[in-house]
Amino acid sequence: MVDGEVCVLDDLGRSDFNRLQDRARRKCHYPGCDAVTYCIFDLLHAASSLVDLPVVLCKALLSELFTPKPSHDLLVVQSIPAEGLDLYAAALKLELEGLMAKRCDSDYVPGQRSSCWRKLKRPGAIPAERFAHKCRST
């Protein structure tokens, strides 16, 4: 069992929420539509629960389970060991929405945000929760 989200990626590999919303309004695949990618962040269960293991170990197991392929269907999000503020500055330069900083020795806490995990958003970024999903068109 994994934790992740669907995204539409731009040419630089950045998530584009507006294009995802446009794609979600359609009932089915259509010629020329944007590819949807499932981005996997965490491995939660593989034969047994892994939520009590350190994030760094779960990321290693996740990389073993999913071999990277040149595909738009699946992306295993890699960890980047770095100082949080330096990485955040780099994310802002790339015009990313933000990043999730996780302490390497922390575990996965289902249903709540741990103090060991920090969501760092770009100033002015609008939380996805504010967008209501409306009826799809054909």
pLDDT in tens, 6-44: 999 998 888 898 899 988 888 777 788 888 899 998 889
Confirm whether 136 is domain-assigned.
no
Owning domain of residue 116 = 2-125
pLDDT of residue 38: 92
Asked if residue 133 is part of any domain, the answer here is: no
Residues in CB range of 38: below 8 A, 6 or more apart: 4, 5, 6, 7, 73, 74, 75
- CATH at residue 77: 3.30.470.30
0.85 cut: is pTM over it? no
Domain assignment present for residue 132? The answer is no
Residue 54 covered by a domain: yes
Q: How many domains does the chain contain in total?
A: 1
Question: How would residue 80 be classed by pLDDT, with cut points 50, 70 and 90?
Answer: confident
101 is a domain residue: yes
